[in-house]
Structure formats: structure tokens, C-alpha cells
Amino acid sequence: GDQVEQSPSALSLHEGTDSALRCNFTTTMRSVQWFRQNSRGSLISLFYLASGTKENGRLKSAFDSKERRYSTLHIRDAQLEDSGTYFCAAEASSGSWQLIFGSGTQLTVMP
């Protein structure tokens, strides 16, 4: 079936450094969302993209609008509070409106 492959599964960063997460899709996706899971387990929506790029503070997300087969989440100047689990979720173009979630990235930011 439709797959969302998220990488890396775990990532350790030093405070102040930059990195990126990526999701690859086995099929064309209508939209992509990025979430951070907080300590209580709730998913906080970071971005919703139908195409192009969006920026929010130190975070930037891109969704390849031509092939619609991958998305990236860039973290700039990582801070301790960025630690947590990040998920991408994509909405298939097949019209089912279901979100297909990636397996998550456990981000640890170290001082």
C-alpha cells in the first residue's frame, strides 16, 4: 500500500546546530503535515503544506511540488526544547482523505 518512509529514526544534535528530517512517499501525495509530539503524548502541528515551503521561526518545511514524493523539515539553531518525537503525515491523492504517518524521528538536543 501507500507508504511514508521517515528518516532518520533517531537523531542527536548539539545545541545551536542545524539538521533536517526527511519523508519519502511511495506514491504522489496531496499534502504533507509535520508534527511534534509533546511530553504528554499530544501531537502539535508544526506545518501543513500542499506545496512549496513554509517557515516558522527556526523551523522550515518543504514539500516537493513537482513529483510530490518527498518532504523535508529543517531545524536551525537547535534548542533543548526542540527535543521530542517528530512525525510527518501525508494525505494520499487517491481521495481517501486518510493521513499516512511516518514512523517518527526521536530528536535529542544536547547542551
- What is the average per-residue pLDDT within 66-90? 96
**pTM of the entire predicted model:** 0.93
pLDDT digits (tens, 9 = 90+) for 32-73: 999 999 888 999 999 999 999 999 999 999 999 888 999 999
Which of 39, 28, 42 minimizes the C-alpha distance to 91? 28
* Cβ neighbours of residue 37 closer than 8 Å, sequence gap 6 or more: 43, 44, 84, 85, 86, 87, 104
Which of 66, 62, 61 minimizes the C-alpha distance to 28? 66
Q: Which fold has domain 4-110?
A: Immunoglobulin-like (2.60.40)
Q: Mean of the per-residue pLDDT values for the chain?
A: 94
User: Looking at the predicted structure, is the pLDDT value of residue 7 above 70?
Assistant: yes
The separation between CA 16 and the C-alpha centre of its own chain, rounded to angstroms, equals 20
C-alpha span between 13 and 92 (Å, rounded): 32
Confidence of residue 100 (pLDDT cuts 50, 70, 90): very high
